[in-house]
């Protein structure tokens, strides 16, 4: 189905998605959100770590495109509802991705930084980051509405709502770029 920096996903015979990931925060968030029916978040049917299995993940790339820094993380599995990805050529995809990347860069919200600080400090930074990103997306939604870009405004506001919903369960998401967002048909 697809892959990213930390894992890969495939479609199961029943239509749900099986994700393999080396991002422990994704597995932990999945575990916390399993069985929760949230309006703006994919249904999660289960999330587990594979005992005894660790995976090398690239957390930084040098200017030549080669891995500069790697980290060993536990392998995780999650089973989630299938969503239709956003159209990569849409203004909503591009706008959401740019807003998230700019915000993450401005506030140093990347895995390489978090490997240098403790988990308590990381949670505080991610909580603040999730709240701040929600505010940015809500402001973007207002601006988009005033410029008659209603579909893009709806997307920005929906992602902002998802950030708020996950925080209610102690999950502080910030990696909500266009490639990690979709919709249920």
For position 38, what pLDDT does the model report? 95
C-alpha 143/C-alpha 140 separation (Å) is: 5
Sorted by sequence, the CB contacts under 8 Å of residue 172 that are 6+ apart come out as: 123, 126, 127, 129, 130, 166
Query: Which of 113, 131, 29 is closest to 76 using CA atoms?
Result: 29
Q: What is the pLDDT of residue 47?
A: 96
Please give the order of strands across the beta sheet that includes 2-3: 2-3, 7-11, 17-21, 67-80, 44-61
Low-confidence ranges of the chain (pLDDT < 70): 1, 57-59, 69, 71
| 125: Cα within 13 Å, side-chain hemisphere | 18
Q: What is the reported pLDDT for 3? A: 73
At residue 97, φ and ψ (nearest 5 deg) are: -60, -45
DSSP assignment letter at 67: E
- C-beta neighbour count of 30 within 10 angstroms: 23
HSE-up of residue 70 (Cα within 13 Å, Cβ side): 8
Q: For tokens 């860069």, what's the residue?
A: 105
Q: Which pLDDT belongs to residue 58?
A: 67
């Amino acid at each position: 189905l697809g892959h990213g920096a930390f894992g890969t996903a495939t479609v199961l015979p029943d239509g749900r998605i099986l994700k393999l990931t080396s991002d422990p925060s994704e597995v932990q968030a999945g575990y916390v959100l399993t069985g929760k029916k949230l309006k703006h978040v994919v249904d999660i049917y289960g999330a587990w770590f594979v005992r005894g299995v660790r995976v090398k993940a690239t957390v930084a790339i040098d200017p030549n495109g080669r891995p500069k820094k790697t980290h060993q993380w536990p392998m995780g599995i999650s089973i989630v509802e299938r969503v239709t990805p956003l159209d990569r050529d849409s203004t909503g995809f591009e706008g959401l991705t740019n807003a998230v990347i700019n915000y993450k860069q401005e506030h140093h919200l990347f895995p390489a930084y978090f490997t240098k600080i403790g988990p308590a400090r990381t949670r505080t930074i991610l909580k603040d980051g999730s709240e701040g990103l929600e505010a940015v997306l809500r402001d973007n939604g207002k601006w988009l509405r005033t410029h008659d870009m209603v579909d893009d405004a709806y997307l920005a506001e929906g992602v902002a709502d998802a950030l708020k919903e996950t925080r209610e369960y102690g999950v502080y998401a910030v990696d909500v770029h266009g490639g990690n967002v979709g919709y249920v048909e």
